[in-house]
Amino acid sequence: MCQKSKSFYKTFNNFGTMVSMLTRAELRVLSVLHGPTTLKELSGQLGVSRSRLSIIARSLERKGLIERQKDGKEILLIPSSSKPLELFHELLTRFPHVDSISLLAGRKLKVIGGMAVEEPRPVWEISLRSNVNRYTVHHVLTELMERLIVGKNEKGYFIAERFSLVKEFADEYFRLQNSIKAKSFSHDSVILWNGVNEFILATRSFKGLAVDSFQLTGLSRFSSYGLSVISGGVYHYYWPSREITLEEVIVHTLAVGAGARELLYVVTILKVRGFNVERLRRLAIKFDVLGVVDDIIEYLGGKEKGYPFPSRDEVEELCRQYFGGPKNDNEGKIG
């Protein structure tokens, strides 16, 4: 990759991490922008300087929420046709008594993204899914409960059904931001797993093991652990991460697909290399593959599993092929 491209990706990832959240000022602009409006007109309407508004508009454009066009000597601001913007205006209309600007600004949106509607989750899981520390999660949940947007029972916290639109907005917003990041990495990128400021993409372009905060993952990354797998011309990358663990590669592989081929290679690499059970299970919860991960752990512990799990002979044959001989069940240390 040329130096210019490397510099672009570094700048993009650093910038994307900083600006992916919505600010109150940005949401205020979106709340009054219903059609094409000049920068001058909007500046007067909001009582914001044109220079300040120009900065906000550029940020919203990068986030795919507005378009900017030159109109003679004026700059025209145009709402995008994106799903998040549509949902935001629906929120303003359906819940006029709710301060939606305050509700959706900053890390509150990330916490909402890590929650589920009518499905209780403990604080540690919300923190894991939202990529926000537990102290912040507690603080945000307290505020959301006071607004009656979030409920609580013995199993954890959940978004009230009445406010499911808030969760839908968060999901669509992060999906849009992730899509913009993915397309900047490779024009043919397709997002296969979507999270809060993180995703797994598929592309036919091999970029190397790591490009700044993009890490090669899935079966193609197994070569880093001594097991080369034919990619079939499709490569998977996870964003954002400066380094990647075996447990992450395993969970990413299963999140993309947990068929017979994937299970054969996953079981083999875990049998040989060993893994941290607690770390693997926590990641499996985040990537919604806990059921298959628990089945794999049981299989490695000696419990028989039917299709699509491989036979013991298939696993031993793969061990001989890549690692020079059969491995017994105690060689791969499970910690």
- 141-172 residue pLDDT tens: 999 999 999 999 999 999 999 999 999 999 99
In the predicted structure, residue 185 carries a pLDDT above the cut 60: yes
**Class of the CATH-defined domain 17-80:** mainly alpha
pLDDT band at 262 (very low <50, low <70, confident <90, very high): very high
Q: Which residues contact 69 (CB under 8 A, 6 or more apart)?
A: 75, 76, 78
- Tokens representing 134? 């537990």
HSE, side-chain direction, 13 A CA sphere, residue 247: 19
> Structural domain boundaries of the chain?
17-80, 84-169, 186-323
More confident residue, 139 or 7: 139
Average pLDDT over residues 239-245: 96
DSSP for residue 59 = H
CB 60 within 8 A of CB 66: yes
Residue type, 37: T
Residues in a beta bridge with 144? none
pLDDT band at 125 (very low <50, low <70, confident <90, very high): very high
- For the entire predicted model, the pTM comes to 0.90
In the predicted structure, residue 127 carries a pLDDT above the cut 70: yes
What Å distances lie between residue 260 and 200, 263, 266, 311, CA to CA?
21, 5, 10, 10
Please state which of the four CATH numbers 1.10.1660.10, 1.10.1490.10, 1.10.10.10, 1.20.1250.20 is assigned to the domain occupying 84-169.
1.10.10.10
Quick check: do 17-80 and 84-169 share a fold?
A: yes
Going by C-alpha positions, the residue among 205, 208, 109, 195 that lies closest to residue 159 is 109
- For residues 138 and 140, what is the distance between their CA atoms, to the nearest angstrom? 6
In the predicted structure, residue 9 carries a pLDDT above the cut 50: no
The whole-number pLDDT of residue 13 equals 40
The whole-number pLDDT of residue 71 equals 79
The string of pLDDT tens digits covering residues 45-97 is 999 999 999 999 999 999 999 999 987 888 999 999 999 999 999 999 999 99
pLDDT band at 327 (very low <50, low <70, confident <90, very high): low
In the predicted structure, residue 43 carries a pLDDT above the cut 80: yes
In the predicted structure, residue 332 carries a pLDDT above the cut 90: no
CA-CA-CA-CA dihedral for 284, 115, 136, 134, to nearest 10: -30
- For residues 293 and 308, what is the distance between their CA atoms, to the nearest angstrom? 13
- Tokens representing 312? 């013991």
The whole-number pLDDT of residue 12 equals 38
The whole-number pLDDT of residue 11 equals 38
In the predicted structure, residue 20 carries a pLDDT above the cut 90: no
The whole-number pLDDT of residue 74 equals 87
In the predicted structure, residue 226 carries a pLDDT above the cut 80: yes
List the Cα angle 122/128/131 in 5-degree steps: 130
The whole-number pLDDT of residue 161 equals 98
CB 43 within 8 A of CB 50: yes
In the predicted structure, residue 19 carries a pLDDT above the cut 50: no
Q: Which residues contact 178 (CB under 8 A, 6 or more apart)?
A: 191, 194, 195, 197, 198, 199, 239
What percentage of the chain reaches a pLDDT higher than 90?
87
Cα four-point dihedral sign 297, 298, 304, 306: negative
In the predicted structure, residue 129 carries a pLDDT above the cut 50: yes
Q: How many helices (H) and strands (E) does the chain have?
A: 15, 10
How big is the chain, counted in residues?
A: 335
**How much is the mean pLDDT over the chain?**
91
The whole-number pLDDT of residue 324 equals 81
List strands edge to edge, sheet with 198-203: 190-195, 198-203, 235-239, 214-217, 210-211
Phi-psi region of 252 (alpha: psi -120 to 50; beta: other; left: phi over 0): alpha
In the predicted structure, residue 287 carries a pLDDT above the cut 80: yes
The whole-number pLDDT of residue 294 equals 98
